[in-house]
Amino acid sequence: MDKKHILLVDGMALLFRGFYATSFHGNFMLTKAGVPTNGVYQFMRYFLDAVHTFTPSHVICCWDMGSRTFRTDIYDQYKANRGAPPEELVPQFDLVKEVVDAFDIPNIGLENYEADDCIGTLAAAYSETDNVVILTGDHDMLQLVNGGTSVAIMKKGIGNYDVYNHDNFIDKKGITPAQVIDMKALTGDSADNYPGIKGIGEKTALKLLQKYDTVDALLEKQAELTPALQKKIANDLDMLHISRTLARIKCDVPITCDLETACWNFNREKVQQAFSDLEFRNLDKLIAL
């Protein structure tokens, strides 16, 4: 049986990226009714380019469902450094999902979890029998790479991707996908606002994981470390464990998605109408079955 080729889209990553890429000069692409659409427009440019590049048979788009999740219950400062979204972006959260709906592909999200967790759960299920590509700008997703799952990290511009897969991962990163979690446990994540172990940066963490493989093994052999490193770990041991929990993408959240609902085989007129409703005049040429 031929394998399906499934594209899992990190919707919020594309929308935020598209919004900020096009709004730095105050260009919000207002409709005649005054509704900003720049983020949705650029989202579609990214989205359609990825479809043309990776030629999926099935496409699913995953979304965050609010700022509070089980991670904020564990650590209340998780992502606390992020302000409210710009007012011009807020109405585009619903608009972009409406356009995705026009392609007759699923919008997936679950309260108390992030889009990452939905993507991780679906990738784990589908990659057992089919090929999965995750489209994102978030390097946290690299922990999901396996024999059936690749991660395409979006780079500057449109059409530029850094693709990580089972064969090239160690050469590109120096660690395995599973070690990405322990790397973030040690270094923390400034974007997500958790510290890891203060004073341990990526170079030191990489050396430690290449030598000890896991955080657990490292902790068992702390006596081999320099006194300075031992002190840093002792000072932040609780945060090390918390950071590892925050970094790990859950791959067992209670969601499912029947692939029959995700076939990439849209109705052109329906999509054109969605574009027309938002007064998009230059996207029709990007549509290809």
pLDDT in tens, the chain (289 residues): 689 999 999 999 999 999 999 998 788 999 999 999 999 999 999 999 999 999 999 999 999 998 899 999 999 999 999 989 999 999 999 999 999 999 999 999 999 999 999 999 999 999 999 999 999 999 999 999 999 999 999 999 899 999 999 999 999 999 999 999 999 999 999 999 999 999 999 999 999 999 999 999 999 999 999 999 999 999 999 999 999 999 999 999 999 999 999 999 999 999 999 999 999 988 877 885 4
Helix 237-247, helix 227-235: angle, nearest 10: 70
Domain map of the chain by residue range? 5-169+250-286, 179-247
Give dist(CA 31, CA 21) in Å, integer: 19
Distance CA 18, CA 188 (A): 26
The secondary structure of residue 240, as a DSSP letter, is H
If DSSP codes are grouped into helix, strand and coil, which group holds residue 151?
strand
Backbone angles phi, psi at 152, to 5 degrees: -100, 105
Superfamily of domain 5-169+250-286: 5'-nuclease (3.40.50.1010)
Q: The pTM is what?
A: 0.95
State residue 181 phi and psi, 5-degree precision.
-65, -45
Superfamily of domain 179-247: 5' to 3' exonuclease, C-terminal subdomain (1.10.150.20)
Do residues 121 and 255 lie in contact, with contact meaning Cβ atoms separated by under 8 Å? yes
State the CB neighbour count (10 A cutoff) for residue 49.
18
Sign of CA dihedral 177, 182, 187, 191: positive
Q: Which amino acid is at 247?
A: A
